[in-house]
């Protein structure tokens, strides 16, 4: 289960305002504010909590639960590396080692 502090920390790490996160999760700003102000587990409708979690995960946030193996222990959040832009199937990649032939002409291969 998520805590209000995890949602607030995840939002801050992702660089989102409350308005941006509420819009992404399709909930009202007051609902998000109540979630972030929750002591302990988030208070709110399950579908709203799931929507906020999904919006933050889409923004690159990973939630760490209370029982996860971590150096300090306890729940938290982590900002994952930004996903790379998808590569087109038409794109050709040239690796340096293949640019210079290392076999005699006509050797095949």
Tens of pLDDT, residue by residue over 6-25, are 999 999 999 999 999 999 99
The reply to whether 54 falls in a domain is yes
Query: What is the CATH classification number for the domain harbouring 13?
Result: 1.10.260.40
Are 25 and 97 contacting, i.e. CB atoms less than 8 angstroms apart?
Answer: no
Q: So what's the pLDDT on residue 85? A: 46
SS3 for 27? coil
The reply to whether 41 falls in a domain is yes
pTM for the whole structure: 0.69
Question: How does 47-84 read in b/e, with b if 16+ C-beta sit within 10 Å?
Answer: ebbebbbebbeebbbebbeeeeeeeeeebbbeeeeeee
Q: So what's the pLDDT on residue 43? A: 86
Give me the domain span that covers residue 71. 4-79
Query: What pLDDT band is residue 80 in, cutting at 50, 70 and 90?
Result: confident
User: What total number of domains does the chain contain?
Assistant: 1
The reply to whether 95 falls in a domain is no
The reply to whether 94 falls in a domain is no
Q: So what's the pLDDT on residue 76? A: 86
Query: What pLDDT band is residue 1 in, cutting at 50, 70 and 90?
Result: confident
Angle at 62 between CA 60 and CA 67, to 5 degrees: 175
């Amino acid at each position: 289960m998520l805590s209000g502090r995890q949602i607030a920390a995840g939002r801050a790490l992702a660089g989102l305002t409350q308005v941006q996160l509420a819009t992404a999760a399709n909930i009202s700003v007051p609902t998000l504010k109540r979630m972030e102000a929750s002591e302990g587990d988030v208070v709110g409708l399950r579908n709203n909590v799931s929507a906020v979690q999904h919006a933050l995960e889409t923004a690159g946030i990973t939630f760490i639960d209370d029982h996860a193996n971590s150096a300090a222990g306890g729940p938290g959040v982590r900002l994952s590396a930004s996903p790379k832009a998808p590569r087109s199937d038409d794109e050709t990649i040239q690796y340096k080692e293949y640019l210079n032939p290392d076999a005699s002409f006509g050797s095949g291969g």
